[in-house]
A and B are shown apart, each in its own frame.
Chain A
């Protein structure tokens, strides 16, 4: 069983919701990333989303754009991320790791080479922001054959017909984008999210996780009431951006942001 499926089945038994932090790998420099991953797990992360930095992150707001720029200035490449996951796995064999990013770095390595390497280092899922299921005909089966989950987005603008297609192709969990906009844009409306999740429940057994617009314990707890998982990115990356002159403090700050959400969600 894939670690993601394993984790959601454990959470279900415990009656808890998944807390899924996102950080951009290589920000503020590659040698910090594995330490941040362990810190996030200590603070209560159930699954880790590791962002692949890209020169043109079209779906991201300024916070993650700048994180990508910092990571790229430090020379972070997709192959380096795979090494980071391998290093992380030496100490943590149970926490699922999902790579999230844009298609071009993967195309450049080649779908099959990437899928082989990702599976061998212990990646569990792949979310390519600019690859909807219709464009995943070649890549999707290569992931599936290696027990890597192909994770897709569902948006407020997604029609019922499209949602059915996405549910049929999706694995691991569905990533529901809570608002129209880029990452870090605004605060979500929990009632609106609940209204959009309801019809999805009838289409799939996949866990429904919600991202975009989750800033603190209060929004995390609100979303956890209606979703199976809560994804938080910009709120964490902001802490990195604010502490570039004191990078040794970042891991501690990430822990405290995440721990507050964990506590609020479990209350």
Chain B
């Protein structure tokens, strides 16, 4: 903890992390020794390829022709009008191949896996979107693929589990702990420590040990670069605010990062408020002011009890059901660059239904957290102001969850 967050200026935020993977007091590489070598190897591979034009060209080509980028920036006119305030623009990551932003990162990491020559990839997944995106790139490159998924999430995301099976991946339900995303990540780390010689671990969010938070951010930053360019073209200027949901925080960092030095652009990261922050049943370490802690290889804000045991979390959306958050978000909270807020399950469902009814777009429940906050924010702004919301994924996978709430059985 050598650098204090309060000494960090906004302009410094583009130069993070430092050489050892620290974002101010956060991040780092808190892993058992067996993994140190693999992480050093990954870091060297990534740093040597990051600025390699041939690697970038291959990445860009895959994003264009396999993922279908750029994704549109869509003006949700009818919804904006009904809210009676700022104009809302949706960054349509839901239109990507596999239906979410997650594929941007798995394409990038799969290219790294190919360079390292490892024949097997593993991943952890919550909602299943990262698992599907990993299984997809594994199928394309002919890699063996095992996906760890909390047993509770296997139950609530059956459709994605079957998608992964169809893609040739093995889905391994994790029965330990709270049987959700954090336990899936524990088990993936245990697999990696055992099979480190032949296995590449494709982490799905901007957390984990260095260099993962950095490289997952970089692979997702295409979202913000496009949104920035599209805003200038379609709005004629930069937006007034950006809104994105935050679990681990990869779609939010992807959108926010290219705007970080645009001081006039406000940013809102929306965490999973679950039953409400006041109930304690949520997954919102930043907006609930959780203590700092260390989990899964990095220091960050972490929901834990007074004895340092990691807390159970709750969210309607499996993809946000995680007690920690990417270390870069922790720093951005401290320096005040992003406002972190929470939307509770009830508000999220309302936003899900509203967008579906008014725009004919069914958002993922994760993305509906961002929409729920846009709903609060827009009426406080003028009609000539603009909000870009990251519609990070599509909602097909959540139909069963919503149907259950409506009391419908198929």
A-B pairs, 6 with minimum CB distance: A105-B308, A108-B308, A77-B307, A155-B34, A153-B33, A181-B194
- How distant is the Cα of A204 from the Cα of B37 in the complex, in angstroms? 21
Q: In angstroms, how far is the closest chain A Cβ from the Cβ of B37?
A: 4
The docked-state distance in angstroms from the alpha carbon of A108 to that of B307 is 7
Contact A104 B304 (CB under 8 A): yes
User: In the complex, A157→B309 CA distance in Å?
Assistant: 29
**Is B2 an interface residue when CB atoms closer than 8 A count as contact?**
yes
State the B residues within 8 Å of A (CB). 1-2, 20, 28-38, 40, 176-177, 182-183, 186, 189-190, 193-197, 291-297, 299, 302, 304, 306-310
Confirm or deny: A182 has a beta carbon within 8 angstroms of a beta carbon on chain B: yes
Name the distance in Å between A102's Cβ and chain B's nearest Cβ. 8
Give B311's nearest chain A residue, CB to CB.
A55
Q: How far is the CB of B51 from chain A (nearest CB, A)?
A: 25
Q: Are the C-beta atoms of A181 and B309 separated by less than 8 Å?
A: no
Binds B, one of A131-139, A190-198, A255-263: A131-139
Distance between Cα atoms of A135 and B39 in the complex (Å): 14
Q: Counting CB contacts under 8 A, is A247 at the interface? A: no
Q: Are B296 and A58 in contact (CB under 8 A)?
A: yes
Quick one: given A157-B36, A180-B34, A180-B196, are A58 and B190 in contact (CB under 8 Å)? yes
Residues of A that sit less than 8 Å from B by CB: 54-59, 61-62, 65, 72, 77-79, 102-109, 129-132, 134-135, 137-138, 152-159, 162, 166, 177, 180-182, 185
Complex A-B: 21 CB contacts under 8 Å: A54-B308, A55-B177, A56-B295, A58-B189, A58-B190, A62-B176, A104-B302, A105-B309, A107-B299, A108-B291, A108-B308, A109-B308, A130-B297, A131-B30, A154-B33, A157-B33, A157-B37, A166-B33, A180-B193, A180-B195, A180-B196
Query: Known: A59-B193, A152-B33, A154-B33. Is A135-B293 also a contact (CB below 8 A)?
Result: no
Nearest Cβ on chain A to B299's Cβ, whole angstroms: 8
| Pair A107/B292 contact, Cβ less than 8 Å | yes
The interface residues of chain A lying within 8 Å CB-to-CB of B177 are: 55-56
Given known A56-B177, A104-B304, A158-B36, contact A61–B30 (CB-CB < 8 A): no
Question: Do B308 and A132 have beta carbons less than 8 Å apart?
Answer: no
Known contacts A56-B296, A72-B309; 5 further A-B pairs (Cβ under 8 A)? A59-B190, A108-B304, A109-B308, A155-B36, A181-B193
Q: Is the interface of B mostly helix, strand, loop or mixed?
A: mixed
Contact A79 B36 (CB under 8 A): no
Name the distance in Å between B371's Cβ and chain A's nearest Cβ: 32
Are A157 and B194 closer than 8 Å at their CB atoms?
no
Known contacts A56-B182, A104-B302, A154-B33; is A78 also within 8 Å of B194 by CB? no
Query: In this complex, what residue of A is CB-closest to B190?
Result: A182
Within the assembled complex, what's the spacing in Å between the Cα atoms of A55 and B323?
A: 12
B36 touches A103 (CB 8 A): no
Contacts of B2 in A (CB 8 A): 137-138
Q: Which residues of B contact A54 (CB under 8 A)?
A: 308-309
Q: Report Cα–Cα, A72/B311, bound state, in Å.
A: 12
In the complex, which of the residues A62, A130, A159, A166 contacts B31, with contact meaning CB atoms closer than 8 Å? A130
Residues of B within 8 A of A78 (CB): 307-308
Chain B residues closer than 8 Å to A55, beta-carbon distance: 177, 309-310
Asked if B189 contacts A104 (CB within 8 A), the reply is no
Whole-angstrom CA separation of A132 from B297 in the bound complex: 11
Q: How far is the CB of A5 from chain B (nearest CB, A)?
A: 22
CB of A126 to closest CB in B, whole Å: 14
User: Chain A contacts of B291 at CB under 8 A?
Assistant: 108
- Inter-chain CA distance A158–B34, complex, in Å, is 7
Tell me the complex Cα distance, A235–B326, Å.
37
Alpha-carbon distance A255/B42, docked complex (angstroms): 45
Bound together, the chains give a CA A45 to CA B33 distance in angstroms of 26
A56-B295, A58-B186, A58-B189 are contacts. A107–B308 as well, Cβ < 8 Å?
A: yes
State the CA gap A108–B20 with chains docked (Å). 23
| A109-B308, A181-B194 known; A56+B186 contact, CB < 8 A | yes
A25 to chain B, nearest CB (A): 12
The interface centre, meaning the residue of A79, A137, A156, A182 with most chain B CB atoms within 10 A of its CB, is A182
On whether the beta carbons of A135 and B30 are closer than 8 Å, the reply is yes
Choose one: A138, A155, A182; the contact of B33 (CB below 8 Å).
A155
* Contact present for A135 and B28 (CB under 8 Å): yes
Chain A neighbourhood of B307, CB < 8 A: 77-79, 105, 108
Are A180 and B309 CB-contacts (below 8 A) given A55-B177, A137-B2?
Answer: no
Q: In the complex, A135 Cα to B195 Cα: how many Å?
A: 24
Shortest CB-to-CB span from B215 to chain A, Å, is: 19
